[in-house]
Amino acid sequence: MIKHHLHPEILLSYAAGNTSSSESLIVASHITVCSKCRREVETFEKLGGKLLEESDSVDVNASSLDSIMSKISDHVSVDNASDVVSTNAVFKNIPSVLRKYLPDGSNLTENWSKGIGGIKYFDIDLGNSNQNTRARMLSIPPGKKLPHHGHESQELTLVIQGGFSDENGSYDVGDVAIEDEKNIHTPISDSKEGCICLVVYEGNLKFKGPLGPILNFLKI
Ligand SMILES: [Zn+2]
C-alpha cells in the first residue's frame, strides 16, 4: 500500500498543465499506481473544465495561445494510466508512461550507464533540455547506506522496484519521497531488492535528494 503521496499543489499544477515534462512524468507514473492521487487529479481536471464552461468569454491572444499550446505539448500523456503491466515480465509493474522512455533489454537496467559500487543510471530524454527540471532512473544495489545529508531545492523520487528507508520511514513501490531544504536524512536501500527509482530534480549538475550523495560522488 502506498504511504507517501505527492502534494496537492503539484497534482493541481499537473491537472492544469503547468508542470514541466519531468514533473509530469513522475506525476503520471505515480497516479498510474496510486488511485488516491489519480482521483485528486481527476477532481482538479473536472473543476478546471467547469470553470472554463462557466466563463462567459475567454480572451485568448496570440502569445497566450502559444503559451497554452506549449504547456499542452509539455504535458506527458496519461492515456494509458491504468496500463501498468507490460507483456514482457522483465518490465512488470513499470508504468507504461515511463516504460516508453526506457531502453529495451533482457532486464530493466540493461543498456543503463554503470557507475561505481554496482549503481546504474539512465537519463530520460524528454526532448526539453531548456527546462530546469531533469528526470533520471537510478538503480542502487541492496543495503546501500548513503551519507547523512540535506537538500537545497526540491527533489522528487518515485520508487519503481525495491525501496529504501530513512528517518522519515520506509518507501516502497509507488511511494514518492519529497525532499527539500528542510530535510536532513540518512537513506539506505532495501536489503534484498535494492532500489530502482525515478528521480526528478532541479538544476544541471548537483543532486541533493535521497540519492544525491551517490550521484554527486559519481560526478554524473
Ligand atoms: Zn498518491
Domain residue limits, the chain: 105-218
Q: What is the pLDDT of residue 78?
A: 45
Question: 11 CA distance to ligand 1 centroid (A)?
Answer: 9
Question: 42 CA distance to ligand 1 centroid (A)?
Answer: 13
Q: Which CATH superfamily is domain 105-218 in?
A: Jelly Rolls (2.60.120.10)
Q: What is the pLDDT of residue 219?
A: 45
Question: 65 CA distance to ligand 1 centroid (A)?
Answer: 32
Radius of gyration of the chain (CA): 18
Question: 70 CA distance to ligand 1 centroid (A)?
Answer: 26
C-alpha 31/C-alpha 33 separation (Å) is 5
**Closest to 176 (Cα-Cα) out of 190, 167, 163, 189:** 163
Question: 120 CA distance to ligand 1 centroid (A)?
Answer: 26
- Could you report the average pLDDT of every consecutive run of 10 residues in the chain (220 residues)? 94 92 94 95 87 62 53 46 52 85 90 86 82 86 77 82 91 91 80 94 60 59
Question: 129 CA distance to ligand 1 centroid (A)?
Answer: 28
Identify whether the C-beta of residue 213 lies closer than 8 Å to the C-beta of residue 146: yes
